[in-house]
Structure 1
Amino acid sequence: MASKLVMITIFILDLIAFGLAVGAEQRRSTAHVQPDSEGNYNYCVYDSDISTGFGVGALLFLLASQGIIMVASRCFCCGKPLSPGGSRAWAVILFITCWVFFLIAEVCLLAGAVRNAYHTKSIPFYSDTPQHCQILRKGVFGAGAAFVFLTAIVSQFYYVCYSSAREKFQPYGGETGVGMGAYK
């Protein structure tokens, strides 16, 4: 039976990561053009940098969640072997899927946080060159949130399948020698 404490902890961490990623998408930096005091330059003035913090927070909560699930399952490759069957097959498939979704989510969150942090610095440009203030593309944190959600679902199923396959394993408990009693 899968540990309920591990599953609840993973669920809470993933829920926080999802909420932070959605918050980061909603609070992306916006910008407006503002001339300098002499009128020689225009500046892109950006608002708050809160979505970068939300994105990094989501990244760290998801990382903690993945770390706990891998420690609890001994990263699938350490510990006693799993019993052959459907649970082990699903555990292997879900383990790989969980890592793929996790890596995509982390890349989206990291890229969004870095690009959003970059687009919060005032950048001067000449007033005669038309330039739009660059902001983070809409949907980067949203994609991260979607993959956080998928990672949360798949990691829960992975842990249940792993636990089921681990509990069903029965090591060979017979004699170590070859039984020759029938050949007397």
Structure 2
Amino acid sequence: MGSAYGASYFVILATLVFDIIAFGLAIGAESRRNHVTIETDVSDSYTTCRYSKDIATGLGIGAFLFLLLGQLIITGVTRCLCCSSPLRPGGSRVAAVVFFILSWFTFVVAELCLLAGSTRAAYRTRSRGYQGAFDLDCKTLRKGVFSAGAAFTFFTLLLSEGYYLCFVKSQENAWQTYNTGGGPGVGMTPYPRPY
């Protein structure tokens, strides 16, 4: 595979595709949240909660899994930063560490939003009561849970790609440093022979 600054195009593209799919599924889950209507029985003796078809749960779980795959690819390739070969001190290493921490934070928040949204969207209250006796509690998923998951998915995409590129750049710098003797020094070229 080709590379940019030693970074694998396959890793960049695979992570990008998985995270974009997760983002799209999270947006779809938000727009397809189930709705509830309170229906009265023909005999007008009781009312019940009637839910629309649940599509958001499947979309939310799909977004959860695709985001997980994208994060696992980056983590596997870089060996979770802590188990990889040493990185050269400098700006690239600092940026890689910062991006790594932030990408995991946004990843965890996104996954929690997607998981909570999916489980809540699948939940159906079985409230049923006599008309006028009590108010029905027809619970539905709050608006914005999947949107928050989509937003944090997008941030995870940006931060994980930035982490990977900074990680690769810092590794390349370390490789060059270790293979050239550690930086500037006295050259070992032979002196010209005196005549």
Q: Same fold (TM over 0.5)?
A: yes
Larger relative CO (CA 8 A, sep 6+): 1 or 2? 1
Q: Does 1:60 align with 2:68?
A: no
Residue by residue, what CA displacement relative to the aligned partner does 1:87-106 show, whole Å, maximum 9, x if unpaired?
00000000000000000000
Q: Does 1:114 align with 2:108?
A: no
Q: What is the DSSP-based 3-state SS (H/G/I as helix, E as strand, rest coil) of the residue aligned with 2:128?
A: strand
Correspondence for 2:173 among 138, 146, 168: 168
Equivalent runs, 1:1-184 vs 2, <5 Å:
1-36=6-41, 38-119=43-124, 122-128=126-132, 129-131=134-136, 133-169=138-174, 170-171=177-178
Higher mean alpha-carbon deviation, 59-68 vs 165-174, is at 165-174
Rounded to whole Å, the distance in 1 between the matches of 2:146 and 2:12 is 25
Residues 62 and 148 in structure 1, CA contact (< 8 A), matched pair in contact too: yes
Residues 48 and 136 in structure 2, CA contact (< 8 A), matched pair in contact too: no
- Counterpart of 1:123 in structure 2: which amino acid? S
Residues 46 and 122 in structure 1, CA contact (< 8 A), matched pair in contact too: no
Higher mean alpha-carbon deviation, 122-131 vs 63-72, is at 122-131
Q: What's the CA shift for 1:34? A: 1.5
Residues 57 and 122 in structure 2, CA contact (< 8 A), matched pair in contact too: yes
Residue by residue, what CA displacement relative to the aligned partner does 1:125-177 show, whole Å, maximum 9, x if unpaired?
33221235221111000000000000001100000000101111133786xxx
Q: What is the DSSP-based 3-state SS (H/G/I as helix, E as strand, rest coil) of the residue aligned with 1:63?
A: helix
Rounded to whole Å, the distance in 1 between the matches of 2:156 and 2:84 is 24
Q: What's the CA shift for 1:122? A: 4.1
Rounded to whole Å, the distance in 2 between the matches of 1:87 and 1:15 is 26
Q: What's the CA shift for 1:36? A: 3.7
Unaligned runs of 5+ in 1: 175-184
Unaligned runs of 5+ in 2: 1-5, 182-195
Number of paired residues?
173
Rounded to whole Å, the distance in 2 between the matches of 1:42 and 1:85 is 67
Tell me what 1:182 maps to. Answer: none
Q: What is the DSSP-based 3-state SS (H/G/I as helix, E as strand, rest coil) of the residue aligned with 1:34?
A: strand
Rounded to whole Å, the distance in 2 between the matches of 1:100 and 1:142 is 17
Higher mean alpha-carbon deviation, 74-83 vs 88-97, is at 74-83
TM-score, normalising length from structure 2?
Answer: 0.83
Rounded to whole Å, the distance in 2 between the matches of 1:160 and 1:125 is 59
